[in-house]
Amino acid sequence: MRHRVAGKKLNRDIKHRKALFKNLINALIIHEEIQTTENKAKAIKGLTDKLISRGKKGTLHSRRLIAAFLQDKKVVNKIVDELGPRFKDRASGFTRIIRLGKRRGDDAMIVKIELVEKAQEEKETKTKTGERKEKKGKSK
């Protein structure tokens, strides 16, 4: 029975699992989107959301708590300085999971986990550049 047992083990011991989560979260924050298996994405989604909501406060205490977990100054600075202000109007739900399909070798579901606001900014820039191209095309 799994009563009151939270999270998935992912066939790893605790040290390996924590290291895996830290590496995945670091990559997600730096690149703002990563591809991984569905179970791993679901495991880090809550942790990532908690770190970003902690970074929204922007205090020294929150910065140190994030640094104690991730242990990478670049990622901590990006969470507090860039992602905190970007998500200031959003209460929760900073990441999204998009299914891509099954992996050929072991039939594992591959997903893309990404930050929500990043996708909206890309769409705006694409439409702006598309409008610029159309305007240039009409003037010629």
Q: pLDDT for 93-125, tens place per residue?
A: 999 999 999 999 999 999 999 999 864 565 566
Q: What is the pLDDT of residues 45-100, one digit of tens each?
A: 999 999 999 999 999 999 999 999 999 999 999 999 999 999 999 999 999 999 99
**Domain 14-139 CATH class label:** alpha beta
pLDDT at 7 over 80: yes
pLDDT at 140 over 50: no
| Burial of 64 from C-beta contacts in 10 A (0-12 / 13-18 / 19+) | exposed
Report in angstroms the alpha-carbon separations of 101 from 38, 47, 74, 110. Answer: 10, 24, 32, 6
Q: Which of 119, 114, 94 shows the shortest CA–CA distance to 36? A: 114
For the whole model, what pTM was predicted? Answer: 0.81
